[in-house]
Amino acid sequence: MHEILSTRLWALESKYFDAMAPLVLKRIANGGNIEALKAEHKELQAGLAYDDATGLIVFETEQGKVCIIQVTGAMSKNGGMCSYGTKSLSSAIAKVNSADHIKGIVLVGDTPGGAVDGLPEFAEAIRTSTKPIVTFIDGMLCSAGYWFGSQSRYIIANKLNYATIGSIGTLCMLVDQTEWLKKEGLKVTILRADQSKDKAVLNPYEEAPTEAVEALKAELNLITEDFISAVKAGRGIKLRTGKEDIFTGKTYSKDEALKMGMIDSIGSLNDAVTKVLQLAKQKSTSTIPATTSKQSNMKIFGISFGKEAGAELTDEQTSALQAAEAKANAAEAKVAQQATELESLKSAKAALEQKDQEQAKTISEQADQIKRLEAAGDSTTAAIKEGDNNTGAGQQTRKKYSWEVKAEKKAGK
């Protein structure tokens, strides 16, 4: 509304105009200013309000405020006129984390995905948030959308709306316009400097070189591996996919996703807000006396808060603990990766041992064959000498085997 009133020319859908006209006429009649209307507009939204401290929309409850952040449409790093970019979204999370009066965040997702650029940073901001974040799916949470959603503490799909969830994977579209240009009687020539032979080789006007396509595919494979790893780390043991491979780009309904552990529940926006408050309460009640296991964990992480540490942790202490926990999580992830590598090495070792066994078996069989040939030798056959007949060096006498005699007879010797 504030942006609409700040412009001279309007281009509004008729029903929206009919709804806003009474408010505008009232403001004109009363001679008020636009900021007053902005404040009045806050009160018109039941349960929702504008938080002056953070500049964000919050859901007000008796237990506290919960920030509501919309992630709609195609995602990009810097956003556009009608959507936030991942940089702005990461900044919003940081604001909430530094605002003591806000309990947590509900990310309302309705997105098909979008650009990869900036996405890992946004996902990391969600994963490491000091305030609980719940993702509420209101329509679609696909591809890049599921990447960030999987990093939140809890995922709820709207029970009153259809949902499309998943599409875990990446792609890149190459458009070949060469045939169309020929039909139009056009020919495009791209001139490159001698030093720039690899510049913009993937374009709509030239046939894509095989090497460039393979390089692009390798890049996509690398990003997809990061995507899959992020989902597995974010959802963890919640995933119950069985024989279904959810990492091929397929999409699922909310019921299918719930069954496989891709989401946690089906409910309403109020349920999502309630879940944030529950998670926030769990965190606040975890700040217990220093004689408990959390104090022991601090010793393990190498953190000392001194004898003056009271029954509850200060913000500085909590931040230090969270940093240590993040470090521990990273160490656990590294251990898991090393365990995977160890299994690969074990498999490679087993394969080599199998190969050695097969080679040993072959050698044994050849030795047995030699023995059989030697046993078949005829002691009455003439002896032959081996070595240098001229110098006598290395000469030794042995008996001819029967098969040698037969071969010589057959040759007419």
Residue 60 pairs with which residues in a beta bridge?
A: 65
pLDDT at 339 over 90: no
pLDDT at 93 over 90: yes
Task: Report which of 234, 217, 279 is spatially closest to residue 120, judged by C-alpha positions.
Answer: 234
- For the chain, helix (H) and strand (E) counts, in that order, are 13, 11
In the structure encoding, which two tokens stand for residue 33, read together? Answer: 């200013």
Question: What average pLDDT does this structure show over 271-283?
Answer: 92
Name residue 48's amino acid: L
CB burial of 361-385 (b: ≥16 within 10 Å; e: otherwise) equals eeeeeeeeeeeeeeeeeeeeeeeee
Task: Give the β-pairing of 133-142 and 164-166.
Answer: parallel
Q: Which pLDDT belongs to residue 372?
A: 76
pLDDT at 313 over 70: no
CA distance 336 to 237: 14
Give the three-class secondary structure for 148. Answer: helix
Q: Which pLDDT belongs to residue 329?
A: 72
pLDDT at 326 over 60: yes
Name residue 334's amino acid: K
In the structure encoding, which two tokens stand for residue 395, read together? Answer: 């000469």
Question: What average pLDDT does this structure show over 217-228?
Answer: 94
pLDDT at 229 over 80: yes
Residue 56 pairs with which residues in a beta bridge?
A: 51
CA distance 50 to 56: 6
Mean pLDDT rounded to a whole number for the chain: 78
- Those residues with Cβ within 8 angstroms of residue 119's Cβ, 6 or more apart along the chain or in another chain: 75, 77, 86, 144, 147, 148
Q: Which pLDDT belongs to residue 62?
A: 86
Q: Which pLDDT belongs to residue 70?
A: 94
Q: Which pLDDT belongs to residue 347?
A: 72
Task: Report which of 98, 153, 137 is spatially closest to residue 278, judged by C-alpha positions.
Answer: 153
Question: What average pLDDT does this structure show over 46-62?
Answer: 86
Predicted confidence band of residue 150 (pLDDT cuts 50, 70, 90): very high
CATH of domain 45-176+204-279: 3.90.226.10
